[in-house]
Amino acid sequence: MGGKITFKNETEAYKVIKKALTKKGYEVDDHKKIQYGLQFFICSEGKKELIRIYGGKKGTKLDLSQVKNISVKDDILSIIGISPELKEGDSASKTHGKVYSLCVGINTFSDSCFLSLDYAGRDAEELHHLLLEKFGIGEGTIKLVNGEATYREITEAIQKIKKIAKKEDTILIFFATHGEFVKVGSDVDFYLIASDSDSNNLMATALAMKTLKTLVSQIPAEKKLIFLDSCHSGGICRRDRSEISLQTKGEVFQNFSSEDFVIITSCLENENSHEEADFHHGVFTYYLLSGLTGAVEAKGGLIDLYTLFVYINRFVKGYVNNIHKRSQTPKFFGNLKGPFLLPKLKDLNRPIKNGDLREFTITPLDNNAVKLKFETINCIGIDESGKGDYFGPLAVAGVYVDTEAKIEQLRSIGVRDCKKIPDSRVMLMAKRIGQICDHEVVFILPPKYNELYSRMANLNEILAWAHAQSLEQLLTRNQECDIAISDQFAWKDILINKLKQRGKKIQVIQRPKAEENIAVAAASILARAKFLDVLSDMKRRFKHDFSKGCNDRVKGEAVDFLKKGGDLKDIAKIHFKTTKEVIGKFEKQKKK
Residue-wise pLDDT tens digits, 456-485? 888 888 998 999 999 999 999 999 999 999
Residues 201/236, Cβ–Cβ less than 8 Å: no
Distances (CA, A) of 197 to 178, 210, 212, 219: 11, 17, 15, 25
**Any residues with CB less than 8 A from the CB of 196 and at least 6 apart, and which?**
109, 110, 111, 150, 151, 205
Return the half-sphere exposure (C-beta side, CA atoms, 13 A cut-off) of residue 188.
Answer: 21
Cβ pair 179, 236 in contact under 8 A:
yes
Q: Residue 592's pLDDT band (boundaries 50, 70, 90)?
A: low
Strand pairing of 302-304 and 331-334?
unpaired
- Comparing 372-386, 410-424, 495-509, 574-588, the range with the smallest average pLDDT is 495-509
pLDDT at 257: 67
At 456, phi and psi to the nearest 5?
-90, -30
Of the listed ranges 111-125, 373-387, 494-508, 573-587, the least confidently predicted one is 494-508
The pLDDT of residue 25:
77
Burial 381-407 (b: 16+ CB within 10 A, else e): bbbbbbbebbbbbbbbbbbbbbeeebb
pLDDT per residue over 231-258, tens digit each? 654 334 444 444 777 777 777 777 766 6
Distance between CA atoms of residues 351 and 370, nearest Å? 17
Q: How confident is the model at residue 43 (pLDDT cuts 50, 70, 90)?
A: confident
**Residue 549's pLDDT band (cuts 50, 70, 90):** very high
Residue 568: is its pLDDT beyond 80?
yes
Residue partners of 350: CB distance under 8 A and separation at least 6 = 359, 361, 363
Amino acid letter, 41:
F
Are 545 and 383 within 8 A, CB to CB? no
Strand, helix or coil at 391?
Answer: strand
Highest-confidence range of 59-63, 326-330, 342-346, by mean pLDDT?
Answer: 326-330
What's the pLDDT at 94? 41
**Mean per-residue pLDDT for 267-291?**
91
Task: Return the minimum-mean-pLDDT range out of 108-117, 366-375, 497-506.
Answer: 366-375
Nearest-10 Cα torsion for 351, 356, 357, 362: 10
Distance of CA 427 to the CA centre of its chain: 34
pLDDT at 454 over 50: yes
Report CA-CA distances (Å) from 117 to 107, 124, 203, 281, 480.
Answer: 4, 13, 22, 10, 33
C-alpha 517: how far from its chain's center?
A: 15
Contacts for 577 with CB less than 8 Å, ≥ 6 apart: none
Residue 48, amino acid:
K
pLDDT band of 98, cuts 50, 70, 90: confident
What DSSP element (H or E) covers 101?
strand 99-105
More confident position, 3 or 289: 289
Rounded distance between C-alpha atoms, residue 38 and residue 216, angstroms: 29
Average pLDDT over residues 313-324: 91
**Tens digits of residue pLDDT in 141-192:** 999 999 999 999 999 999 999 999 998 899 999 999 999 888 877 788 889 9
CB 362 within 8 A of CB 348: yes
Mean pLDDT (whole number) for 420-438: 94
* Predicted TM-score (pTM) of this structure: 0.79
Lowest mean pLDDT among 58-67, 116-125, 243-252: 58-67
Distance CA 274, CA 257 (A): 24
Q: What does 145-186 look like in DSSP terms, one character per residue?
A: EGGG--HHHHHHHHHHHHHH--TT-EEEEEEEEEEEEEEETT
Does 517 score more than 90 pLDDT? yes
Q: What is the CATH number of domain 379-538?
A: 3.30.420.10
Give the range among 187-191, 234-238, 507-511, 583-587 with minimum mean pLDDT: 234-238
3-class secondary-structure state, position 556: helix
- Hey, what CATH topology would domain 99-372 get? Rossmann fold (3.40.50)
Q: Where are the domains of the chain?
A: 10-80, 99-372, 379-538, 543-591
- List Cβ neighbours of 495 (8 Å cut-off, separation of 6 or more): 464, 467, 468, 486, 508, 510
| 45, pLDDT greater than 70 | no
Cα 452 from chain centroid? 32
How far is C-alpha 127 from the geometric centre of its chain's CA atoms? 18
Contact 168, 222 (CB under 8 A): yes
Instruction: Assign domain 10-80 to its CATH superfamily.
Output: Bacterial toxin RNase RnlA/LsoA, N-terminal domain (3.30.310.240)
What integer is the mean pLDDT of 282-307? 91
